[in-house]
Amino acid sequence: MDPDHGPEPGPAPRDGRPGGLGRGTLLLMSLAAGLSVAGNYFAQPLLDVIGRDLGLSGATAALVVTVAQVGYGLGLLLLVPLGDLLERRRLAVTLCAATAASLTLTASAPNTALLLTGTALTGLASVAAQVVVPFAATLAAPAERGRTMGTVVTGLLLGILLARTAAGLLAEFGGWRTVYWVNAALMLLMAVLLRLKLPALHTTAGLRYPALLRSTLALFGQEPVLRRRAALGALTFAGFSTLWTALTFLLSGPAYGWRESTIGLLGLVGAAGSLAASVGGRLADRGLAHHVTGTAALLLLGSWGLLALGGVGGTGALAALLAGVVTLDLAAHALHISNQNLVYGVRPEARNRLNSAYMTSYFAGGAAGSALTSAVWGAAGWTGVCALGAGLAAAVVAVWTYDRLRPVPPQRPAVPAPRGSYSVPASAASTASR
């Protein structure tokens, strides 16, 4: 029995053989996840040009980013749990199509009201990515779940990190609206391809929507694995947001004096860290999810030492800064995929609710990290930011240490999945003991 995530039967295809995903389908799901979330990040490097085009003040233009975050947070709470209630292919396709429609509204917005409406709806529907990830985990053969999730999450992370770079390039050639038109067309294509390539996957949660939402919150009280991994995720993403919120201030300030276009290219450096999701997933398949977590937690702490050295400017400091960025990104993404791997092993029939609970905590941690960073930067600059990041990383190490030292609870027996069906019955049980 795997001590990290216990026995778990995968969904059996119609011929009764163990489940699995073809490479083409897996890459399609990864691409769909990346394109879904990218729409929430296009505006960040374009706020100035959007503001000039629509006659917005700086504060009003900044609302575009805030509204996208609020929409995404609501989607995590209200829409992702539907994957345990509705047929999952239809839900994923519907959300991709809704994202395309919302991006179209943003692209054609003649005024502030419609721009913010389109942005909010895009954020809400873009949680298609968080429906696709547990969908892929359910379709995967048990021995390949970590690798499968790592591939899809890598696509999602690349979508986040490369959205800013892509937005700058497309806007330079065709204006800011072109960015949204192109993504809308791609999301419509994703909806069609997912409908053609994915199998129908029915669930039997047996709950009405209000009860489904209540049960999502109840999972925190019922599942200690979820509580600990949600805490690790929130602290990790808080540190990740701390870095990327303050980095622009540092690089555009007197120590480096970079232009916005140059700063945007730093996303390409961060993209290298997204490969850790795939590697972390493969190691989780070998029963090493907790070892990945511990190693990543220590790397996370060490990365802030390198980042602190990068605050003075100059060639040597820049090298330390870039090394710190790559190290932190590698650690954060590896930790995230190990978290998801263990959380998804708790209850196969409730994966979307588990994902909703975990990702809401993860997102809340990121929002808190950004808010704290703004205050700390004003009071203590880059030194204070690095102290904040190191403190968050130390908390990650502490939570992981507690997790490893606690007594091992008895494991619940797993119930074999029925053969010959893609359904995931509510009675199926699996454990994530530690």
Residue-wise pLDDT tens digits, 112-171? 899 999 999 999 999 998 899 888 888 888 778 777 877 888 888 788 878 877 887 888
Confirm if 152 and 281 have CB atoms less than 8 A apart. no
Tens of pLDDT, residues 225-258: 999 999 999 999 899 888 887 887 788 788 888 8
Residue 324: pLDDT band by 50, 70, 90 thresholds? Answer: very high
Count of Cβ atoms closer than 10 Å to residue 12 Cβ: 18
Mean per-residue pLDDT for 261-287? 68
Report the pLDDT value the prediction gives residue 300, as an integer from 0 to 100.
Answer: 95
Amino acid sitting at position 59? A
Angstrom distance (rounded) from CA 366 to CA 163: 18
pLDDT over 70, % of the chain: 83
Tens of pLDDT, residues 410-422: 544 444 443 333 4
Q: Model's pTM, two decimal places?
A: 0.75
Q: Check whether 349 has a pLDDT greater than 70.
A: yes
- Its sign, for the CA torsion 130, 136, 139, 145, is negative
Q: Check whether 180 has a pLDDT greater than 90.
A: yes
Confirm if 123 and 243 have CB atoms less than 8 A apart. no
Q: Check whether 434 has a pLDDT greater than 70.
A: no
Tens of pLDDT, residues 33-72: 999 999 888 887 777 788 888 887 766 776 787 788 888 8
388-391 long-range contacts, Cβ below 8 Å, gap at least 24? 388/242, 389/239, 389/242, 389/243, 389/304, 389/307, 390/301, 390/304, 390/305, 390/308
Mean per-residue pLDDT for 88-93? 93
Confirm if 417 and 425 have CB atoms less than 8 A apart. yes
Quickly list H helices, 140-274. Answer: 145-174, 176-197, 209-222, 224-252, 260-264, 266-271
Report the pLDDT value the prediction gives residue 126, as an integer from 0 to 100.
Answer: 93
- What integer best gives the mean pLDDT of the chain? 81
Mean per-residue pLDDT for 325-342? 88
